[in-house]
């Protein structure tokens, strides 16, 4: 997902550049004025609240505005990203937007500020006034609007300058040159983006073999917590000794150890095109941990894939695997297989449901041949790559 906020004083040419960004990068346009008017016209619950406030001569609160923005984002899950126009207008709203982006497991990638000196803005707007007939296109009103923009906007721009995702564009250039500079800034941001996939599925669904094949095909780093734990044991590392002790005592490996291994893997693969996570997260707590790890590395989950396989087929596969050298500890009896499947249902299905609230989870039929399942998963992944282009 690509999220951009576009700033610029009156007369900077935001309208022209908005049209370019929306068309070029398939973004959904969010203008607080437009979506508020839509809520009012539709007489939604939020719209009626806003209407009541406006009727009393008040200003619509940030609380209502942010709810409308959140609703708009959630109602457009297929959007490649969002272009914010008119939000955030204040320092407080900048914090609100940051919090909203975290809640929706995404972020504002770039704030583009089209910068135009006051006298150039005044000249452009006065020229527009000669043909527009707009009463507010006069020198006094224009300068008041510019002064208000500067006073309210400077703290917002400073906020994003400190975050490092602010990009100033010289607006006193030909329109094509401004567009070209904006395109370069956005493309540079897109180059930083990774494709991070979480692969879910019950034991026996084929996550391991499929995850490795996906990683190889798309040049992603395969992250299997089980593999990493086994590797630490075989190396005889300090972490490996702790893991081995946990195993021998029948205890689960602590999240503290798993976090260290995932963090190390990501640091060692900092130039990776992305990661595919198999076997993690398994619990709601671990899902929040993974979100936090990715956010720390300025990344997010881009794709959730769930392999769907009939329960009887899962039991058959795990029973067959128990007779091979790939046998897992929970394959050795039907009772253990059933307990492991129940554990997945009780602990991991809630994780998938959580992600469904924030992501478009791709449910893929994993019953057929490996090649057929791989083809289906590839279609889902390639759609995500296109979204990052």
Q: What residues are labeled active site?
A: 14, 89, 128, 134, 145
- Determine contact, residues 146/122, Cβ cutoff 8 Å: yes
Burial class for 218, CB neighbours closer than 10 Å (0-12, 13-18, 19+): middle
Burial class for 205, CB neighbours closer than 10 Å (0-12, 13-18, 19+): buried
CB atoms within 10 A of CB 274: 22
Strand partners, 274: 195
What six digits make up the tokens of 147?
Answer: 């002064």
Q: In what order do the strands lie in the sheet with 274-278?
A: 221-224, 274-278, 195-201, 303-308, 362-365
- Determine contact, residues 36/68, Cβ cutoff 8 Å: yes
Question: How many helices and strands, by DSSP H and E, does the chain display?
Answer: 17, 10
Strand partners, 170: 115
Q: Quick one: CA torsion of 167, 172, 177, 179, rounded to 10 degrees?
A: 50
């Amino acid at each position: 997902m690509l999220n951009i906020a576009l700033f610029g004083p009156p007369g900077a040419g935001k309208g022209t550049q908005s049209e370019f960004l929306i068309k070029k990068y398939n973004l959904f346009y969010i203008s607080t004025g437009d979506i508020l008017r839509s809520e009012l016209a539709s007489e939604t619950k939020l719209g009626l609240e806003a209407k009541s406030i406006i009727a009393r001569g008040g200003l619509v609160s940030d609380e209502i505005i942010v709810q409308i923005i959140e609703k708009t984002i959630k109602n457009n899950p297929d959007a490649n990203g969002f272009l914010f126009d008119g939000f955030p207008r204040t320092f407080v709203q900048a914090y609100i937007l940051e919090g909203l982006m975290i809640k929706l497991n995404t972020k504002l990638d770039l704030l583009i500020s089209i910068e135009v000196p006051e006298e150039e803005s005044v000249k452009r707007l006065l020229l527009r006034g000669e043909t527009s007939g707009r009463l507010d296109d006069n020198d006094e009103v224009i300068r008041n609007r510019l002064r208000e923009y500067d006073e309210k906007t400077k703290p917002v721009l400073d906020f994003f300058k400190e975050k490092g995702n602010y990009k100033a564009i010289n607006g006193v250039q030909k329109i094509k040159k401004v567009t070209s500079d904006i395109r370069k800034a956005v493309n540079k941001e897109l180059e930083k983006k990774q494709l991070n996939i979480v692969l879910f599925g019950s034991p026996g669904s084929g996550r391991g073999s499929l995850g490795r094949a996906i990683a190889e095909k798309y040049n992603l780093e395969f992250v299997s917590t089980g593999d990493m734990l086994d590797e630490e044991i075989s190396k005889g590392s300090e972490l490996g000794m702790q893991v081995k002790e946990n195993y021998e005592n029948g205890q689960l490996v602590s999240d503290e150890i798993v976090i260290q291994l995932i963090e190390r893997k990501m640091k060692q693969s900092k130039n990776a095109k992305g990661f595919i996570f198999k076997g993690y997260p398994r619990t709601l707590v671990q899902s929040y941990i993974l979100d936090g790890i990715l956010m720390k590395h300025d990344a997010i989950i881009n794709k959730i894939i769930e392999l769907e396989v009939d329960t009887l087929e899962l039991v058959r596969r795990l029973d067959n695997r128990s007779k091979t050298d790939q046998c897992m500890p929970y394959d050795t009896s039907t009772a253990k297989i059933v307990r492991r499947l129940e554990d997945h249902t009780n602990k991991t299905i809630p994780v998938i449901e959580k992600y469904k609230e924030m992501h478009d989870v791709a449910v893929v039929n994993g019953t057929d041949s490996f090649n057929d399942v791989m083809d289906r998963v590839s279609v889902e992944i390639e759609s995500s790559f296109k979204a990052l282009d």
